Amino acid sequence: MKELLDTLDAWRRDGVRVGRAMVIRTYGSAPRPDGAALLYAADGRVAGSVSGGCVEGAAAEEIARAFVTGRARVVRYGVTDEQAWSVGLACGGNIDVLIEPEVPADAEAAARSTGGVAVLTELPAGDAADIPPVSRYVVTETGDGAVGLPADVVAAAREALLRGASRIVESGPRQYFIEAYPVRPRLVMVGAVEIARSLARLARELGFATVVVDGRAAFATAERFPQADQLVVGWLDEVADAIALDANDAVAVLAHDPKLDDPALIEAFARGCRYVGALGSRKTQADRRERLRAAGVSDADLARLHGPIGLDLGGRSPQETALAILAEVVAERYGASAEPKTVR
């Protein structure tokens, strides 16, 4: 939804009515994930996607119908539905799409925020489709705004924000669609080394905010890191408060010097950072773990340490190492394994 805000603003300046379709549930190998959105303007313009192209026209027609009825409803498309053949869903999956005659104010406000907000829509029970959604709630990453929601649903909303993934959750006879607008993910790189230059560029391409921390002013320069959102001269244990290091951050320790790396790792663990990785060989990692354990780092935290950092992609160049690191950060963010992705 965030990527459609500029379009939404432009259409509204033109004075046209805008409705929304959003994928709320997928079955099988559906081409677009939960939370994928499409906007349809009353003058016929379409932006976004709910299916990669195969049911966009049908979804637009449903929004046009909702303009007349003023009624939101859930519509199912799939190979088991005769209508799916007419709209061309040939990808082998089924999707439930929430059709709305307007862009919900709560969802729009969440999309425009800096993140950390989930919009929950209570849906019809079971697998029922073509029934209006029931009600809507807004929950923050701290659980605020959860009045009237079961505790397990609130926990699921907070987990969705942590993972950055929208999803359906069920609680007893009720089910809710969690539309997640997480805080922008941030990658903190300790050590303004060559790997960090490639890592900052790749991370920004994937939507991460990037922070490069190095006590050597000659290394942490805008000329060397034009893609970095923030350059900080200092070491992580010294500047953690200044950059507001917290549990949402991923930290890659790349300085390759125990005097610099160890305090940074201790600080990252103390603040509960979601991903903590460090450069170095297996022998270097074994020695590091012994030092950290002696410094009071718990076995639970040591078990979270990614070292050697990055997935084993076989490459060794700075650019390839940066790709391996970012792949591991992304896998951790979504709770994924390092197994090969199924081709579909």
pLDDT value of position 28: 66
Tell me if 6 sits within 8 A of 16, measured CB to CB.
no
Is the predicted pLDDT of residue 93 greater than 80, yes or no?
A: no
pLDDT-derived band at 49 (thresholds 50, 70, 90) equals very high
Q: What is the mean pLDDT of residues 84-104?
A: 72
pLDDT band at 134 (very low <50, low <70, confident <90, very high): low
Residue 339 lies inside a defined structural domain of this protein: no
Q: Is the model more confident about 51 or about 235?
A: 235
Residue range 179-192, pLDDT digits in tens: 999 888 999 999 99
Structural domain includes residue 344: no
pLDDT tens-digit profile of 203-249? 999 989 999 999 999 999 999 999 999 999 999 999 999 999 999 89
Same domain, 261 and 128: no
80 falls in which pLDDT band (50, 70, 90)? very low
Q: Are residues 205 and 268 part of one domain?
A: yes
Q: Tell whether the torsion through CA atoms of 85, 86, 89 and 93 is positive or negative.
A: negative
What is the predicted pLDDT for the residue at 148?
82
Final residue in a domain of this structure, among 149, 181, 213: 181
Residue 294: inside a domain, yes or no?
Answer: yes
Q: Are residues 145 and 172 in the same domain?
A: yes
Query: Is there a single domain that holds both residue 42 and residue 161?
Result: yes
**Per-residue pLDDT, 29:** 61
Percent of the chain surpassing pLDDT 70: 88
Same domain, 321 and 230: yes
* Co-location of 291 and 170 in the same domain: no
Number of domains the chain is built from: 2
Residue 127 in this model has a pLDDT that exceeds 60: no
Q: Which of residues 89 and 216 earns the better pLDDT score?
A: 216
Same-domain check for residues 9 and 39: yes
**Spatial strand order in the sheet of 18-27:** 46-48, 37-41, 18-27, 94-100, 73-77
The alpha carbon of residue 213 and the mean position of all alpha carbons in its chain are separated, in whole angstroms, by 24
Q: Which residues in 215-248 belong to E strands, given as ranges? A: 230-233
Q: Structure pTM?
A: 0.72
- Picking from 147, 181, 215, the residue at the C-terminal end of a domain is 181
Are residues 174 and 231 located together in one domain of the fold? no
Among 113, 146, 181, the domain-final residue is 181
Q: What is the pLDDT of residues 102-125, one digit of tens each?
A: 999 999 999 999 878 999 999 866
15 plus 143 within the same structural domain = yes
Strands 249-253, 275-278: pairing is: parallel
- The mean pLDDT value of the chain amounts to 88
pLDDT at 152: 94
Instruction: Give the pLDDT score at 330.
Output: 93
Domain with 95 in it = 2-181
pLDDT at 75 exceeding the cut of 70: yes
CATH number of the domain within which 248 lies: 3.40.50.720
Indicate if 217 and 194 belong to the same structural domain.
Answer: yes
Q: What Å distances lie between residue 220 and 217, 258, 262, 342, CA to CA?
A: 5, 19, 20, 40
Residue bearing the bigger pLDDT, 92 or 160: 160
Q: Could you tell me if 133 and 171 lie in one domain?
A: yes
**What are the structure tokens assigned to 248, written together?**
């949402």
- Rounding to the nearest 10 degrees, give the CA dihedral for residues 116, 120, 126, 131: -140
pLDDT digits (tens, 9 = 90+) for 261-311: 999 999 999 999 999 999 999 999 999 999 999 999 999 999 999 999 999
277/295 same-domain check: yes
> With bands split at pLDDT 50, 70 and 90, how would you rate the model's confidence at 94?
confident
Say yes or no to pLDDT of 48 above 90.
yes
